[in-house]
Amino acid sequence: MVERMSLSEQSARPAENLEPREISKQEVSDMLFWSFYFSQGRSELQNDFVHLAGQNHPEMLLPNDDTFILPDLQRYKKFLEPGATHTRLIPQESASDLIRAIQEEHGLSIADAHIYNQIHVHWKVAQNAFSGLRPDPIEIQDLLQKITTHMIWRDAQYARKPELRPAAETRPKEGPFAANKSHFVSYVLRHETVPGPAIYTEIMEQIRNSLSDESLVNKLPESAITSLASILPSDADLADHPLLKKRAAELIDWPKEAIAETE
C-alpha cells in the first residue's frame, strides 16, 4: 500500500531517495486551485508551476481519481464575475461535443462544464508532472526562467491596466486577493507569506535564489526587466539581488529621487 504524506511535510524534506508516496485528493485539489491563482489566469504559467512542483518532488504521486473536480466547481466560482477576486475566470457558453458530454454526464450547465473540463485538463497535466521521473536540472532552470518572466509580465499587465482585475473596488486592499497585488514583488522580493500549499512557498524561494544565478538573470528577456518599472517605484526592493538590480539599471531610467533614496 502506498503511504500518504501531506504536501507540507514533503516540501520540508529533500526529495532524494524518498520512497514514492501518494498524496490525497484534497491536496491535489488545493495544488490545482492555487496554481490557478498564481498563474493569474494564464494556462501556460499554471502548467509551469505544476511541472516545477513535480520536478521538485519526484517522490510524490497523484491518485488516479478525479472525483474531487465536481465539488470543486463551487470553489472555482470564486473567480467568476460578479464578485470575482484577483483573477478572472471567463465563463464560456459555446458547447463542443466534449463539453456537452460532460454536461450530460454530470448534469451541469454549459458554463460549469467548461470549468470542469479546465480543471480536468490541468489534473492530467499534474499527473504527467508527478510521474516519478528523476528531476532534470536543465528543465528546472528553464521552468524557473519561464515562471519568473511570465510572473513579472503578468504583474506589469495588471499594474498598467488595473481594470483587467475583476471587482477591484470591492476587494480587500491587503492580502492575497488585493487589487494591486504583485506576485513577484510580494512573494519573491518582499518575502510575504505565500498562500496555498507549501510547494508554492518552496517555488517562490527557488525563484528568489535563482536571482543569484547570473546565467538565469541574463536569460530574462529585456521586456521582463523593463516591466519591473511598472511594479516597483524604485530599485530599493532589488537591493538583495545585485545581478537583477544591475540589469534593471542598464534598461530602466528610475526616477532620480527614487534612485537617491536607495543610495
**Per-10-residue mean pLDDT for the chain, 263 residues long?**
40 57 92 91 91 94 93 84 66 83 93 91 92 87 96 91 67 63 93 95 97 96 96 94 96 72 46
Contact between 155 and 182 under an 8 Å Cβ cutoff? The reply is yes
pTM: 0.85
Whether the CA torsion 239, 177, 11, 122 is positive or negative: it is negative
Q: 4: which strand partners?
A: 22
User: How many angstroms separate the Cα of 80 from the Cα of each of 74, 109, 112, 209, 229?
Assistant: 10, 14, 11, 35, 30
Residue partners of 237: CB distance under 8 A and separation at least 6: 185, 189, 190
Q: What is the spatial distance between Cα 115 and Cα 77, in angstroms, rounded to a whole number? A: 9
Q: 21: which strand partners?
A: 60
pLDDT of residue 181: 81
Beta carbons within 10 angstroms of residue 213's beta carbon: 14
pLDDT of residue 41: 79
143 sits in which H/E element:
helix 137-160
pLDDT of residue 167: 59
DSSP 4: B
Distance of CA 238 to the CA centre of its chain: 21
Whether the CA torsion 184, 72, 15, 59 is positive or negative: it is negative
pLDDT of residue 170: 60
